[in-house]
Amino acid sequence: MQVDITLGALSMALGQRPVEAGNLLAHSDRGSQYTSRDYQLMLRENGLTCSMSGRGNCWDNAVSESFFATLKRELVYRQSWPTRDEAARASHEYVEVFYNRQRRHSTLGGVSPAEFERRHEQNLTQAA
C-alpha cells in the first residue's frame, strides 16, 4: 500500500470533525504506510496518539483487526470491482453510509457509531 492513500484517508477523517489534541487514538497495524515518516508526522501535527500493534500480535489492536475483518467479510469478499475507483467508492459508501451510520455495533450497546457519538455529545452538553 502506498502512503499517499493512507495520508488521504487520515486527512479525510480529520476533516469530518474537530479533534482535541491528545484525545484521539489512531489504531493501525505495522504496515509501512503507517510507520512512514509522513504518516507519523501527520499524526503528531494533529495531536493524535498512534496505537500500533506489536510485531505479530494482533491482540494489541483488536479494534482495528475486528473492523478490517468485518469490512472484508461484509464487502470485500462479496464482490469484485473492475477499477480502483469503483472499489474506493464502494469502500467509502460502506464505511461512511452503512458502517458508521446504520450498522449496529454490540460493543456500543446496539447502536451505530454515529448514534453513539450523538448520544455522547448530548450527554456532555447536558452535563455542562
For the chain, domains (ranges, CATH) are 1-57 (3.30.420.10), 75-128 (no CATH)
Torsion of CA 96, 45, 42, 31, to 10 degrees: -100
The candidate with the shortest Cα–Cα distance to 100, out of 89, 114, 88, 119, is 114
pLDDT on residue 18:
77
Question: Which residue positions in the chain have pLDDT lower than 70?
Answer: 1, 57-61
Phi and psi at 24, nearest 5°, equal -135, 135
Could you read off the pLDDT of 74-93 as tens digits, one per residue?
Answer: 999 999 999 999 999 999 99
Amino acid at 105: H
pLDDT on residue 77:
96
pLDDT on residue 70:
94
pLDDT on residue 62:
75
